[in-house]
Chains A and B, each alone.
Chain A
Amino acid sequence: MPSMVGEQEPVLGIDLGTSNSACAVVRDGRASVVRRGDDRIVPSVVAAMPEGGWLVGTRAKRRRLVDPKNVVYSSKRMIGRRFGSLEVQQMRQRVPYSIFEGSNESVMLEVGGRTVSVVEISSHILTYLKQMAEEALGQRLRKTVIAVPANFTDSQRSATRIAARLAGLDVIRVINEPTAAALAYGYIEDIDRRIAVYDFGGGTFDVTILQITRNVFEVLATSGETFLGGDDIDEVLTEMMARRVTEQCGWSPHGDPIAMERLRAFAEQVKIQISETTVGTAEIPEVIPGRKSPLHFQITEAELRPLIDPIIRRTIPVCQDALSGAGLSAHQIDEIVLVGGTTRLPIVREVVTEIFGKPPQTSINPLSVVAVGAAIQGAALMGSLAPSVEGGSTGGAAAVLLDVVPRSLGVRTVGGYVDFLIRRNHAIPTEHTRLFTTTSDRQRFVRIQVCQGEAETFDDNHKLGEVVLTDLRPALRGEVTIAVTFEINTDGLLEVRALDQDTMQQQIATMHVLGGMSEEDLQRAAERFGQGDVGAVTFQP
């Protein structure tokens, strides 16, 4: 029987999603999603108001219809990334708000005449979630377990932690989203199972294969596509609606960004209706305010199917890739867990059934399942779910999350190749050391560039940062040896150390993370957030 440890402050479980966020807590041994009124899901949208304030959530999302340039959405795609990365450049093409390069290759945004970092945007959302939960529970909350995608790199995990810290939250654990989803379903009994977590969100698709053996969770493989999600379905519907407007009113809304935004907002509603019934309708009195252009739009599930089928089918090869990475075939999967709003569409569930040969689990809302799992893990960590220990048993319904390195870690070598120190899927925590020598005579310093990814060439991977080791003894090339150590702790955070073995002086250089915030930037952000104490936030991921 679960026993509550009285007086204990609940741990907030947070799902900070690309499109939507949610939070949950465990109280009296039961997990529940935090709500404000009828709202349980908070759009991950932050709007800069002309008078200087910030709006978060549904109200911010509505601002997209009137002031798209000053509304930030999908910022999770850019967290912990360098400005020059492909994802950030793709975002610049896709979003109406301004994205530019800050110091240290970081990503900065300009909205409402203010310059903010991506971390601060996440922080606004986290602050909103925290306040919403504090209001709902009538007590202060400080501790959180925050979920991140299984394939998040080290810099993305660090940046998420910093965002939480700025929001006044103490992150007791960063957990993988698919693991959280599986925890929500309570797969922690003594039955060994293999679970596929099919996460089809607003903008991204991920599939993760988990193995649960005696309460130990292990990520076997993860695969994903960064630009595939519900947004693509909204796009198809918006395009249909725009064509309908052209037919009915004789003019095309394509050139009008605000009209297109309005159609997109209605398209999303139509999609949500179709997820629950078989027909979706939108009654738009005026597509462009002030112009007589009413639109009556109706579509049935059967009509939508052939249009979105190609989008949904793009998830099939991703699932096959994850299965292959795990060394399993589809029939060896015991359960399929759905995450993300798009999985509410019947056609998605049919495709999932087709892929795995069995229907998915549907009893928990796919929009809040991750937050619930994070809250459950938070409670387990704090002991409020742990059964009283009797006799000599190790006792505890708490799951042990046995994470692996999501992507290989290596250093740049001569010729632009990568020498991998830690291979993907290695159990963590772990520590690896490799020796390197100088490559030219009288070399006084070495620059150790660190990347994460699977490509053989350095530039094709995600560059994390670099370590510079100076004051080497002037010697012939190859005479000075440097030991490079990569250490990954239980949270999956990396520490890189370089040791000059020649002088045997513990000259340890710590990694300078690219795309992170500089100390000064962080301090300024902390002041804006009224969090004076940021001394504990470090940049060493």
Chain B
Amino acid sequence: MSHVAPELSRMYESLETLTYYEILALPVDCDYVAIRDAFYRSAQRYHPDRFAGWSEESARSIVNTVYKRIAEAYNVLSDPMLRHAYDDARARGECRLSDTLRTRRLTQDERQISNTFARLYMRSAIDKLARGEVIAAWIDAKLGISLEDARPFRILLDRIERSWS
């Protein structure tokens, strides 16, 4: 693992100045699949299990701190609403999304959906609708309802389709 070590300490030292995109080595306009892939790539390289043989406390703390930030970057960027909030924060020159903003509550709609992925589609659809991307929102809602026939999807689809006619 020694070849990873210099990279790891470089990352550790500049952690507070790196954006989530930089941490995962992603372009800012990337899609969900790219985020997921980047996270898997980083996890393989920097997961604390990779360094289980390191017994020194200070070295372990570096590994844990870096990986925690990688997971944070993934958790924020993979949630469309959080990613949106993060992009706003980044425009203000911030590198991280504040810890209270990261801990967002599920919306009333999301609470009525039990399937994790359907919930993700719900978030994405609402977010796209708010930005005026009506067709993209409609597609997400359709994908979501195919996973779980939940009421919030029906209401959302109805709203979108009515706006067309």
Contacts and interface: CB of A to CB of B under 8 A. Distances in A.
Contacts of A213: 40
Interface in A402-455: 402, 419-435
Interface in A210-224: 213-216, 220-221
Interface string B1-30: 111100000000000000000000000000
Nearest to B67: A429
Contacts of A221: 116
Given A383-B53, A429-B64, A431-B99, 15 more contacts: A214-B40, A214-B44, A327-B116, A381-B53, A389-B3, A394-B44, A402-B40, A427-B74, A430-B71, A430-B75, A431-B72, A433-B102, A433-B103, A434-B100, A485-B99
B47 A402 contact: yes
B135 to A, nearest CB: 23
25 contacts: A172-B52, A214-B40, A216-B44, A324-B114, A324-B115, A324-B148, A325-B114, A325-B116, A389-B1, A394-B45, A400-B44, A402-B40, A402-B43, A402-B47, A421-B103, A423-B106, A429-B71, A430-B71, A431-B68, A431-B72, A431-B99, A432-B99, A432-B102, A490-B47, A490-B64
A433 B100 contact: yes
Contacts of A325: 114-116
A187 to B, nearest CB: 15
Nearest to B1: A389
A430 B99 CA distance: 11
Contacts of A216: 40, 43-44
A419 B4 CA distance: 40
Contacts of B48: 490
A129 interface: no
Given A325-B114, A325-B115, A419-B105, A400 B100 contact: no
A427 B39 CA distance: 10
A427 B71 contact: yes
Nearest to A172: B52
Contact of A398 (B4, B50, B71): B50
Interface of A: 172-173, 213-216, 220-221, 324-327, 380-383, 389, 392, 394, 396, 398, 400-402, 419-435, 456, 483, 485, 489-490
B34 interface: no
A128 B48 CA distance: 30
A327 B118 contact: yes
Contacts of A485: 99
B71 A327 contact: no
B35 to A, nearest CB: 12
A432 B98 CA distance: 10
Contacts of A427: 39, 71, 74-75
A419 B104 CA distance: 10
B117 interface: yes
Contacts of A420: 105-106
Contacts of A421: 103
B56 to A, nearest CB: 15
A217 to B, nearest CB: 10
A452 B73 CA distance: 24
A221 B115 CA distance: 10
Interface in B26-82: 39-41, 43-45, 47-50, 52-53, 64, 67-68, 71-72, 74-75
Q: What 8 pairs between A and B have smallest CB-CB spacing?
A: A327-B117, A381-B52, A432-B103, A433-B99, A400-B47, A216-B40, A490-B48, A429-B68
Most chain B CB atoms below 10 A, which of A325, A327, A421, A423 = A327
Contact of B49 (A389, A398, A435): A398
B75 A490 contact: no
B147 interface: yes
A327 B103 CA distance: 24
A430 B72 CA distance: 7
A327 B68 contact: no
